[in-house]
Chains A and B, each alone.
Chain A
Amino acid sequence: MATRERPLSPHLQVYRWQITMTMSILHRATGVLLVGGAFGLAGWLLAVAAGGESYAQASACLASPLGQVLLFGFSAALVYHLLNGIRHLLWDIGWGFEIPEFYASGWTVAALTVVLTAALWIAAKGVGA
């Protein structure tokens, strides 16, 4: 069977920026990042199970500047992936397929990610203080 030279899609940079493209790639990027977070959670549970020195080390790691930066990254990625995941599930049931709705739901997810991540950290610092 002969393989014909078929037309290829033009490169991404010729398109005008739209929020939908950023939301899409961020969903995948945060998903990959969160796999690291999942293994982190597994490691923390193992440390709680082992107790003693292991738990002390895990707590110290999480409280260190690097640990806090990683935790913040994971929490923001988790909130984003969770909210945008709900957006995907709504599409799966056929909701929100008009172009203005794509933009509206995209900006809603972006805004709620900032608000909920901030709320999470305010609550966490309130408990920890």
Chain B
Amino acid sequence: MSNIGTAGDPRRQPPGEDFRTPLKRARGLGSGKAGTGHFWWQRVTAVALVLLVAWLLGLVVSLVGADLATARAAIGKPWNTIALALLAIAMFWHAKLGIQVVIEDYVHTRWAEVALQLINTFACATGALACLYALGRIAVAVTLANS
């Protein structure tokens, strides 16, 4: 046979036909990639956020109407900066996991779903990093003001 491996090869799979078994097509989809990772980290961040948000509400109420120096001094206290950094990471991680499920549930057009999932991941990562950057800058400003 002179046509082996060419488009004329009768053994070649016709385009558009899928010879894979249903099991082969299902493998690697859904929770097959990360197992219980999504469920687990949603709960871990939730437990962290119960504590951190309860604390945050107290801090925010204490800063109502505060001027810049007061707000910076409160946020720039070492343990407050650390707790706010933990909050930023847990909060945006939890947000990313939650919005991911909302997109999975309601967006059924593949390209739109992939695009929204990317935007979700990038936006939440940016939000968390923006918080960490701001906290670092406030901590430095407070340190310089006190020295």
Q: Which residues of A contact B (CB under 8 A)?
A: 1, 28, 31-32, 34-35, 38-39, 41-42, 45-46, 48-49, 51-52, 55, 75, 78, 82, 85-86, 88-89, 92, 120, 123-125, 127-128
Q: A39, A42, A55, A128 — which one has the most chain B CB atoms within 10 A of its CB?
A: A42
> Which A residues touch B60, using CB under 8 A?
124
> Which B residues touch A45, using CB under 8 A?
75, 84, 130-131, 134-135, 138
Contact present for B46 and A89 (CB under 8 Å): yes
User: Per a CB cutoff under 8 Å, which of A42, A55, A123 touches B130?
Assistant: A42
A30-B71 Cα distance, complex, nearest whole Å: 27
Contact present for A128 and B65 (CB under 8 Å): yes
5 A-B residue pairings within 8 Å (CB atoms) = A35-B124, A48-B134, A49-B134, A55-B71, A128-B64
Known: A45-B131, A82-B53. A35 touches B62 (CB 8 A): no
| Interface residue ranges of B81-109 to A (CB < 8 Å) | 84, 88, 91-92, 95, 98-99, 102
Q: Which residues of B contact A (CB under 8 A)?
A: 22, 43, 46-47, 49-50, 53-54, 57, 60-62, 64-65, 68, 71-72, 75, 84, 88, 91-92, 95, 98-99, 102, 123-124, 127-128, 130-131, 133-135, 137-138, 141
Q: Which residue of A lies closest to B47 (CB)?
A: A89
A-B contact count (CB 8 A): 86
Contact present for B130 and A46 (CB under 8 Å): yes
Known: A28-B102, A45-B134. A88 touches B61 (CB 8 A): no
Contact present for B127 and A39 (CB under 8 Å): yes
A85-B51 Cα distance, complex, nearest whole Å: 12
> Which A residues touch B99, using CB under 8 A?
32, 35
User: Per a CB cutoff under 8 Å, which of B53, B57, B95, B137 touches A49?
Assistant: B137
User: Per a CB cutoff under 8 Å, which of B22, B46, B92 touches A38?
Assistant: B92
> Which B residues touch A89, using CB under 8 A?
43, 46-47, 50
Q: Which 9 A-B pairs have CB atoms at the shortest separation, nearest pair first?
A: A45-B134, A49-B137, A128-B64, A49-B134, A128-B65, A35-B95, A46-B134, A42-B130, A127-B64
